[in-house]
Structure 1
Amino acid sequence: MLRVQKIPLDDIYVPAARKKTLHPETVRHLAEDIVENGMKTPIQVRHDGKRYVLVEGLHRLEAVRWLGETSIDSYLVQARKH
């Protein structure tokens, strides 16, 4: 079973190709929902030996960053490099 870990936002690398899929309006709506209801689903990251790489959850990551948080609930997963 996956265990939730708090990971500092500054330690998470977002691949350039993933950044292209970011929709600012979605980030704003998610941030509002997180304030009202909390974040229900942690993001997924993999560790490449030096840093954490985002696998899933770009909009959640950016919403939490937009809210001024310094860390985020994450699942550490084993995933192929994209």
Structure 2
Amino acid sequence: MLVKQSLSISDIRVPAKRGKTLDAARRDLLAEDLIEHGQTTPIQVRSEGSGYILIEGLHRLEALRLLGEIRIDAYLVRARQH
């Protein structure tokens, strides 16, 4: 069962390959929606050392970072490394 947690955005690392898929226009639209409605869907991360690795939710993460937020709702999942 996934449990929603509030994590520090600075503790989340985005893999380089995933970061290349960022669409700035989509991020900006999502940031506008987050201002109006807040974060409704948590991102997904896995634990790595003292931080976390992003699995799902790049645009949500980057939109909140763009807005200057320091925390994000996330699900901590157990995922195998590729």
The size of the alignment, in residue pairs, is 82
Task: Show structure 2 runs of 5+ residues with no match.
Answer: none
TM-fit CA distance, 1:49: 2.7
TM-fit CA distance, 1:37: 1.0
* Structure 1 consecutive aligned stretches of length 4 or more whose deviation exceeds 2 Å: none
User: What one-letter code is carried by the residue in structure 1 that aligns with 2:34?
Assistant: I
Task: Show structure 1 runs of 5+ residues with no match.
Answer: none
- For residues 76 and 43 of structure 2, what CA distance do their matches in structure 1 show? 9
User: What one-letter code is carried by the residue in structure 2 that aligns with 1:67?
Assistant: L
User: What one-letter code is carried by the residue in structure 1 that aligns with 2:50?
Assistant: K
TM-fit CA distance, 1:16: 0.3
TM-align CA RMSD: 0.9
CA displacement 1:14-58 (0-9 Å, x = unmatched): 000001100000100000011111111100000023320000000
Corresponding residue for residue 24 of structure 1: 24
